[in-house]
Amino acid sequence: MNYQFNWSVLWSGQSGGWLLHGLLLTLAISVLAWVLAAVLGIVSGAMRTVPWKPLRVIATFYVEFFRNVPLLVWMFFWYFGVPPLLPRVVQDWLFNHSAEFWAGMFALGVYHGARMSEIIRAGILSIPRTQFEAAVAMGLTTFQVYRLIIVPIALRLIVPPATNDSLNLLKNSSVALTISVAELTFQARQVETYTAKAIEALTAGTVIYLVLCLGIAAIMTRVERRFAIPGLIARGG
C-alpha cells in the first residue's frame, strides 16, 4: 500500500505544457481582473468618502452587494446568469469566444473591486482632514482634490493591504475552474487524472502558486519602500 513517488510525471509527456498553459491562463485572468478591481476599487473607494450622498450610496451598495456573496456564486452568476439576458446572437458569439474566461474575469474583478474599495477608503480616511481643506483653499474643485491629492496619497499608503488582497485575487482565480476555465489548478488536476499521481501534481500546483505569490510580494515590498511617504507610513525593515 506504499505510495510510490514519481516526480518525473511532471515533466514527461504533456504535463509540463499543461501546467505552463494553466500558469499563463491564471496570470491572464488575474492581471485583467486585477486591473478591473483596481479601477472599480479606486472609483468606488473614493466615492464612498465624497461629500455628496447619492454617490456614497451607490458606492456603498456596490461594495456591500458584491463582497457579501461568495465568489463561487459570482462565478456561476456571470457564467450562467448573465448570458441569457443578452440577445441570442451575442450569446452564441460569446460562447464561441471563451465566455467562461470573461465570466471568470468579471466575477473575480468585480468581487475584488469591492474589497479593494474598502482598502482605498481606509487609505483616504487616514489622510488628515487638513489636506482636503488646504487643497480646497487652493481653489481646486472636489474632483481635482481627489484626482491630484487624495487618491495619489491614498494609493501610496495602502500598498501593504492592497498587496495582500492582490495575492488573494491571484489565488481566488482558481475558483474559475468551476465554470471550466482551464487555469493552473485545473491543469494540476488534469496532470493528476492522466498520471494518477495526486501528490506530485498538486505539489507542482502548490509550488507554482507559492513562487508566484512570493514573487509578487517581493516586488510589492520594493514598491512599498520606493513610494512610502516619510512621516505618513511606518517604515518597515
Partner 1 sequence: MKRILAVVVALAVALSLTPPVGAQQDTMAKIKESGVLTIGTRTGSPPFAYINKDNQWVGFSIDLVEQLVKPAVEKEVGRAVKVEKKESTPPTRIPLLSANSVDLIAGTMTDTPQRREVVDFSLTFFYTGAQFLVKKGSPIKGVNDIAGKRIASQQASTNAKIIRERYPQAQLREFPDQPAAFQALLQGQVDAFTNDGIQLAGLKAKAPNPAEWEIVGDFYSEEPYGMAMRKGDARLKAAVDGGLKNGFESGKYFEIYEKWFGPKGELPYPLTATVKAYLLKQIGK
Output 2 or 130, the one with its CB closest to partner 1: 2
Q: Given candidates 105, 158, 179, 212, which one binds partner 1 under the rule CB under 8 A?
A: 179
Cα 215 to chain centroid, rounded:
16
Give which of 45, 33, 132 is closest to 75, Cα–Cα: 33
CA gap 20, 33 in Å, rounded: 20
Residue 39: CB atoms within 10 A of its CB come to 13
Assess 10 for contact with partner 1 (CB under 8 A). Answer: no
Q: Given candidates 78, 106, 186, 209, which one binds partner 1 under the rule CB under 8 A?
A: 186
Output 126 or 193, the one with its CB closest to partner 1: 193
Q: How far is the CB of 67 from partner 1 (least distance, A)?
A: 24
* Binding-site size, partner 1 (CB under 8 A): 40
Of 41-49, 118-126, 148-156, 212-220, the window that binds partner 1 (rule: CB under 8 A) is 212-220
Alpha carbon distances (Å) from 26 to 5, 33, 91, 99: 27, 10, 24, 16
Half-sphere exposure of 89 (CA within 13 A, CB side): 0
Of 114-122, 127-135, 151-159, 171-179, the window that binds partner 1 (rule: CB under 8 A) is 171-179
As a whole number of Å, the CA-based R_g of the chain is: 21
CA gap 14, 102 in Å, rounded: 26
CA gap 119, 141 in Å, rounded: 24
Of 63-71, 110-118, 134-142, 203-211, the window that binds partner 1 (rule: CB under 8 A) is 203-211
Assess 39 for contact with partner 1 (CB under 8 A). Answer: no
Of residues 63-122, those binding partner 1 (CB under 8 A): 79-80, 83-84, 91-92, 95-96, 99-100
Q: What is the DSSP string of 9-66?
A: GGTSTTHHHHHHHHHHHHHHHHHHHHHHHHHHHHHHHHHTTSS-HHHHHHHHHHHHHH
Q: How far is the CB of 212 from partner 1 (least distance, A)?
A: 11
Q: Given candidates 125, 148, 199, 232, which one binds partner 1 under the rule CB under 8 A?
A: 199
Assess 141 for contact with partner 1 (CB under 8 A). Answer: no
Output 153 or 181, the one with its CB closest to partner 1: 181
CA gap 50, 38 in Å, rounded: 18
Cell numbers for 137: 483653499
Binding site for partner 1 (CB under 8 A): 1-5, 7, 79-80, 83-84, 91-92, 95-96, 99-100, 177-180, 182, 186, 189-190, 192-199, 202-203, 207, 210-211, 214-215, 218
